[in-house]
Amino acid sequence: MPPVLQGIFTIIIGVGGCVAYFYFSNLVLDKVIFPARGPNAGRNINRANKVRPWLFLFPAMFALGLYLAYPVVGSFWRSLFDRSGNNFIGLGNYIDLFQGSTFRTAVFNNLMWVLVVPAMATFFGLLVAQLTDRLKWGNIAKSLIFMPMAISFVGASLIWRFVYAANPDIGIINALRDFFGLATLDPLQVRFWNNFFLMFILVWIQTGFAMVILSAALRGIPEETIEAAIIDGANPFQVFFQIKVPQIMGTIVVVWTTITILVLKVFDIVYTMTGGNFGTHILPSYMMTYMFRDDGRATAVAFVIMILVLPVMIWNIRQARAEMR
């Protein structure tokens, strides 16, 4: 069977299956299990109505359980075993992790990523959103800045490998150094600062996201409040920081936390740029170094990441909900 037909067939079975599930399960509930007739008709209707929501929720809950809840529990369980997966070693993997210097570097680097990337992406996004707001060519500028969002992390990393290339004929940084008569160096091998060179790639990607959301939020501010502030004597900076920013604070928090969560998941950039060498590991890339070799270790790192993301995520969801109200 050609793949196209296969695809169509799958879609038909999937969608048809869903429709059939809801239709027939409902039918069975009403006609067979709690039929609305006989001496207990009234009670049966009430019972059926109590069961119905769970019946309809079941597929979603089952899928979530299978693909979200089970992996969490399963990963945790796996992280308590050694490399082979046969010997239970308790928290041994975790203890080993915290004793290893690479893990500590990864945690420290990750902390820097979490502090720097969301802050810079949000700041630049806000700046661009505000600066392009009244420009005729603002939309063109915005689409250019948004474009990196469409590039995969690996693709972006490849682009930036050229920028950082240790060759004045390829890399712009070394071209500049060359212009000023400085020796060629590999930016990615400059300890400590190389982390920021990597972070900048993600900032470059995420600024577009922050800009789009914040631009919409800025447009949502009632024009009159800005005019009132102008009449009250506020200069453009005071209008921006004292009138506009406070009014979109909720959105800024949502953007900030959303990028934070993303930062805690990104491994591709480090993986493609340095492979975690020269002290650039972050938790997800560190996890990748163990994956398929020592799944006990890898799942332990994954679990640490999850615990770090959780509070940010809760905050993010709360803020987003508050925004919608």
Partner 1 sequence: MADLKLTDVEKAYGEVKVLSDINLDIKQGELIVFVGPSGCGKSTLLRMIAGLEKITGGELQIDGMVVNDIPPAQRGIAMVFQSYALYPHMTVRDNMAFALKLAGKSKSEIDEAVNRAANVLQLGPYLDRLPKALSGGQRQRVAIGRSIVRDPKVYLFDEPLSNLDAALRVATRIEIAKLKESMPNSTMVYVTHDQVEAMTLASRIVVLAGGGIAQVGSPLDLYERPNGEFVAQFIGSPAMNLLAGEVVGTGQQTTVKLAGGGTAKADIPTTDADMGLKVNLGVRPEDLVASDDEEFLYQGEVDLVEALGELTVLYFKPEAEGAAPVLAKLAGIHAELKGRNVKLKADPSKIHLFHNKVSLLYR
Segment interacting with partner 1 (CB under 8 A) among 80-88, 91-99, 157-165, 217-225 = 217-225
Q: Of residues 87, 167, 225, 277, which one binds partner 1 by CB under 8 A?
A: 225
Residue from the set 247, 261, 279, 306 that interacts with partner 1 by CB under 8 A: 247
Kindly tell me which of 92 and 250 has the beta carbon lying closer to partner 1: 250
Is 151 an interacting residue with respect to partner 1 (CB under 8 A)? no
Give whichever of 133 and 227 is closer to partner 1, judged by the CB atom.
227
3-state secondary structure 4-52: HHHHHHHHHHHHHHHHHHHHHHHHHHHHHHCCCCCCCHHHHHHHHHHHH
The least CB distance from residue 67 to partner 1, in Å, is 41
- Given 130, 168, 238, 240, the residue binding partner 1 (CB under 8 A): 238
Handedness of CA 180, 181, 186, 190 (dihedral sign): negative
Rg (CA), the chain: 27
Whether the CB-CB separation of 276 and 286 falls below 8 Å is answered with: yes
| CA–CA distance, 154 with 217 (Å, rounded to integer) | 30
Instruction: Name the residue with tokens 């020592």.
Output: 294
Nearer to partner 1, 245 or 291 (CB): 245
CB 97 within 8 A of CB 103: yes
Q: How far is the CB of 223 from partner 1 (least distance, A)?
A: 9
233 binds partner 1 (CB under 8 A): yes
| Cβ–Cβ < 8 Å for 145, 128 | yes
240 lines the binding site for partner 1 (CB under 8 A): no
246 binds partner 1 (CB under 8 A): yes
Select the residue interacting with partner 1 from 13, 150, 228, 317 (CB under 8 A).
Answer: 228
Buried b (16+ CB within 10 A) or exposed e, 219-252: eeeeeeebeebeeeebeeeebbeebbbebbebbb
With CB under 8 A as the rule, give the number of residues binding partner 1: 17
What x-and-dash track marks residues 179-198 binding partner 1 by CB under 8 A?
Answer: --------------------
323 contacts partner 1 (rule: CB under 8 A): no
Provide CB contacts within 8 A for 317, sequence distance 6+.
Answer: none
Q: Measured from the CB of residue 249, what is the shortest distance to partner 1 in angstroms?
A: 7
Of 199, 164, 204, residue with least CA distance to 285: 199
Stretch near partner 1 under the rule CB under 8 A, chosen from 18-26, 31-39, 241-249, 281-289: 241-249
Distance (Å, whole) CA 257 – CA 311: 10
What is the binding site for partner 1 (CB under 8 A)? 222, 224-225, 227-234, 238, 242-243, 246-247, 249
